[in-house]
Chain A
C-alpha cells in the first residue's frame, strides 16, 4: 500500500515538475518576445531622437553659416575699401613728391592723406567689430556644444534593457 502511495506521489511530483517547466519555458519565451519588442521600441525612440538632433544640428549649422556669410561679406567689403584707400595713399605719396606742384596743392594732398589715414583707422576698427561678432557666435556655439556634450547625450537619456 505504501509503495503505491510513494509511486503515485512521485508520479504527481514529476508531472507537476513537467508542468512547471512548461510554464517556465512559456514565460521565458514570452519574456524573450517582450525584450525584442522593448528593443524595437527603443530603436524607434533612438531614431526619433536622432532625427530631432539632426534637425537641431542643421538649424544650428544654418544659423552659423548665415552669420559667417553676412560677416564674411562685411569683412570682404572692408578689405576692398581698405585696398582702395591704400592705393590712393600710394598715389598721394607719389603726387606729394612732385616738385612741380604748388604749396596749395601739396597742402590739399596732405589733408587728403590725413582723411584717408583716419579712414584706414576707422575701417580697421570696423573690421575688428565685425570679426568680434563672428568670433562671439563661433565661441558661443563651441561652448554650447561642449555643455550639451556634458549634459545631454543619447546614452544618458536612455535606459538599457535590463535583465
Chain B
C-alpha cells in the first residue's frame, strides 16, 4: 500500500468519525428539542387548564354570589312579611279580646235592662259584636294560614341560600373560600355581640347608628352587614375596599371622637347611611355602594389626610 493511500484512508476514517460524531450530536440535539417540545405542550396544556379553571371559578363566583344575594334578599322580604303576619295576628287577637269584653258588658246590660225596647237594642248590639268577632276569627284563621305558608317559604329560601353559600365555598376557588370564611366569621360575631363591637364590625355605621340610640342588632345594621358580606365582595376591588375599610375606619372613629362636634358628625353620617339603607332596600345596590364609598373616601380625606 502506498503512503498516499494510507493517508487517504486515514483522512477518510477521520471524516467518518467526524460525521459519526456530528450525526450523534444532531440526534441528541433532536432528542433534546423533542423533549422541550413535549414539555412545552405539557406546560401550555397545564397553563390552559389553569386559565380555564380560573375563568370558570371567576364566572361561578360572580354568578353564585349574585344568586346568593338574591336568595338572601328574598328570604329577607319573606321575614318582613312573616313579621307583618305576626303583628296583624296580634292586632286582630287584641280586637277579639276587646270585643269579648264588650260582649260581656252588653250581656250584663241585657240582663239588667227592664225596658223591652232598650233590651232589643242591646240584643242587636250583641248580635253585631258576635258577627264582628266571627269575621275576625275567620280573618285570623286566614292570616294564620298565610303565616304558616310564609314560614315554610322562609325555611325553603334559607335552605337555598345555604346551598348557594356552600357552592360558593366549594366551587369558586380561594376567592369563594375567603368569602365563605368572612361570612361565617360574621355569623359568629353576630352571636357574640361583644366581639362584634371590638372586632370586625361595621365600624362607621355602628358608631353613628348607636349614636342615635339604636342597638347593635338593629335592622339597619343587619342590612348593612349583609350588604357588605354578600354583595360588596362580588364587585371588582370589593374585597380590597373591605380590607382598606377595616384598616382605616377605626382610625377615622378615633379622630372623630377627638372632635368637639362628635355628636353632630355622627348624626350627619347617620342621615347619609339611612339613605344608603333605603337604596339597599330598593335593590339599588350599585347606588348604595357608590354612596358608601363616597362617604368613606371623604372621611378618609378629612380625618386621615387622604
Residues of A within 8 A of B (CB): 3, 7, 10-11, 14-15, 17-18, 21-22, 24-25, 28-29, 31-32, 35-36, 39, 42-43, 46, 49-50, 53-54, 57, 60-61, 64-66, 68-69, 71-73, 75-76, 78-79, 82-83, 86, 89-90, 92-93, 96-97, 103, 106-107, 110-111, 113-114, 117-118, 120-121, 124-125, 127-128, 131, 134-135, 138-139, 141-142, 145, 149, 153-155, 158, 160-161, 163
Bound Cα distance from A103 to B80, whole angstroms: 38
Give me 22 A-to-B residue pairs in the complex whose CB atoms sit less than 8 angstroms apart, sorted by A's number: A21-B26, A21-B27, A25-B30, A28-B36, A36-B40, A54-B62, A57-B59, A64-B66, A69-B284, A72-B73, A73-B282, A75-B80, A90-B94, A92-B95, A93-B94, A96-B102, A110-B128, A124-B143, A128-B149, A131-B78, A134-B77, A135-B74
Given A72-B282, A86-B87; A138-B71 close (CB under 8 Å): yes
Residue of B nearest to A128 (CB): B146
* A39-B38 in contact given A18-B22, A18-B23, A29-B33 (Cβ < 8 Å): no
CB distance from B276 to the nearest CB of A (A): 15
Question: Does B20 belong to the interface (CB within 8 Å)?
Answer: yes
Contact B52 A46 (CB under 8 A): yes
Chain B interface residues (CB < 8 Å from chain A)? 9, 12-13, 15-16, 19-20, 22-23, 26-27, 29-30, 33-34, 36-38, 40-41, 44-45, 47-49, 51-53, 55-56, 58-60, 62-64, 66-67, 70-71, 73-74, 77-78, 80-81, 84-85, 87-88, 91-92, 94-95, 98-99, 101-102, 121, 125, 128-129, 132, 135-136, 139, 142-143, 146, 149-150, 153, 157, 160, 164, 281-285
